[in-house]
Amino acid sequence: MLQAILDFFSQITDPAWIMQNGGLYIVMLIVITETGLPFGFFLPGDSLLFIAGMVIANALSPFGTPILNLAYWIILISAAGIVGNFIGYWVGKKSDKFFSQRKDSFFFKKKYLIQAKEFYDKKGGGAIILARFLPIVRTFAPIVAGLVKMRGATFALYNIVGSILWVSVLVGAGFLLGENVWVKTNLEKIIIGIVIITTVPVIFKMIIEKKKKKASNIQKFSTTSNS
């Protein structure tokens, strides 16, 4: 299973493989899956968008100018992200009992749902925008919004703004750097760097929360012992 996942990762982060297997439409499909379905949390959305920008920079533009081609794909991929989050919102709204009773598996971890809920509680509706830039959290944030019955119009606003920002920043970065020779020859290092940059905040938050919880438990135990 692990080797199959690693092979899949190496394929979907290979620009040549992407172009040979559906082109940027496969990127749209992966974005919908990662941002809308619980089992999509392991997909590398950030690095994939960066690579999509590189593909756009090196592809022939049917519009006569690369900028128009870039705008076209940003709109389409943003739409995929918006659709994905709407799916996640609907899943959360209709499946509150399902998630509360479901046991952990490889494709579903209840702790990720709890982390997204805590993130949502702290950031409010803005969490839908910020979550786009955080692996795992971006998969479960719209589900949590559905679970807590966030108003549909409010969710739609945050969803649209967040998707456009996320896609524009990462695809735009890949587009600007896509023709750089150093970037092409060091793509694997760049992908690892993107994964580290986007994952570290999540890991750091988990460590901090764990320490706070441990300190709180010690304080409660100490208070109980002294009383």
Per DSSP, 17 falls in state: H
> For position 221, what pLDDT does the model report?
46
Q: Which residues have CB under 8 Å from 45's CB, separation 6+?
A: 30, 31, 34, 35, 135, 138
> For position 70, what pLDDT does the model report?
93
| ∠ CA 122-136-215, rounded to 5° | 50
> For position 100, what pLDDT does the model report?
63
Collapsing DSSP to helix, strand or coil, 105 comes out as strand
Tokens 């479901």 sit at which residue?
Answer: 102
Instruction: Please tell me the total number of residues recorded for the chain in this structure.
Output: 227
Pull the structure tokens for residue 126. 């803005």
133 contacts 194 by C-beta, under 8 angstroms:
no
> For position 79, what pLDDT does the model report?
97
Query: Within the chain, which residues score under 70 in pLDDT?
Result: 1-6, 8-9, 98-102, 104-109, 188, 195, 197-227
> For position 220, what pLDDT does the model report?
55
115 contacts 136 by C-beta, under 8 angstroms:
yes
Compute the distance between CA of residue 9 and CA of residue 78 in angstroms, rounded to an integer.
22
> For position 21, what pLDDT does the model report?
77
Collapsing DSSP to helix, strand or coil, 108 comes out as strand
Tokens 């809920």 sit at which residue?
Answer: 117
38 contacts 98 by C-beta, under 8 angstroms:
no
User: pLDDT, tens digit, for every residue of 97-110?
Assistant: 766 666 766 556 67
Residue type for position 38: P
Cα separations in angstroms, 195 against 50, 68, 88, 95, 117: 11, 29, 23, 30, 22
Task: Name beta bridge partners: 108.
Answer: 105
